[in-house]
Amino acid sequence: MKVPFFGKEGRGTRRALLGRHFVLGILPAALFLWNSPASAEVAVPENARTMTGVELYMIFQGKTWTWESGAGRMESEDRAFRAWAQSATGESWAEGRWSVNDRGQLCLMAVWHSQSAAAPDKTCFSHRTLDGTIYQKREPSGDWYVFKHAEAQGGDEFNRLVREDLVAAKLAAVKERLEGQVKETKNSVRRKAGMNAVGGVQ
């Protein structure tokens, strides 16, 4: 699976939400492994209108947004957002909130956790619509693409939104494993410190 961390910024929905943290070394891996969508960059018609917050809420509330190595859940209650992801360098999980507004934006705000670090992130997507077709782009520098065709197509990103909660159980398991790894690392450090204190290791 190609993960487009580098190169042209913003093409596609399924990108790393924490790409900049990955580059800076704050986290060991990008947490949302989002590839470029199947549809190519498109020119949004001039008469396409900005979608309302109510329209976006009806699309995303109570849905799980899936990708190849993880998923994000947007709950109706308290607008809670939870997610998990797995990459070549390890597992990560996130908890936060999601929001929509009348500027046509969906925003995902959460603190992402890995074994070695935690960092906040906010990623927003803009939406416009015309004659039943919905266009989407990642802010601030993404390209517009068709999120949902008026006549549904198999490659639409919209199809990755499902009602089933694919996050709760997986997130709990990931969180437990990572907490166990952190605990074991701390215990190992304490054991080594104790050996040094008695001259066992110089």
- CA dist., res. 81 & res. 65, Å (int): 11
DSSP string, 2-70: ----SSSTT-SSSS-TTHHHHHHTSSSS-SS-PPPPSSPP-PPPTTPEEPPHHHHHHHHTTEEEEETTE
Q: What pLDDT is recorded for position 114?
A: 85
State the average pLDDT for the chain: 79
Q: What pLDDT is recorded for position 44?
A: 97
- CA dist., res. 193 & res. 25, Å (int): 27
Model confidence at 23, pLDDT cuts 50, 70, 90, reads very low
Give the residue, 102 or 187, on which the prediction is more confident. 102
Model confidence at 177, pLDDT cuts 50, 70, 90, reads confident
Q: What pLDDT is recorded for position 38?
A: 53
Q: What pLDDT is recorded for position 183?
A: 66
Q: CA 160 → CA 14, 24, 52, 184, 194, distances in Å?
A: 10, 30, 21, 37, 51
* pLDDT of 31 higher than 90: no
In tens, the pLDDT along 124-141 reads: 999 999 999 999 999 998
- CA dist., res. 147 & res. 153, Å (int): 10
Contact 94, 31 (CB under 8 A): yes
Average pLDDT of span 20-37: 41
- CA dist., res. 76 & res. 54, Å (int): 13
Give the residue, 89 or 118, on which the prediction is more confident. 118
- CA dist., res. 14 & res. 2, Å (int): 11
Query: For the chain, what's the residue count?
Result: 202
SS3 187: helix
Average pLDDT of span 69-94: 91
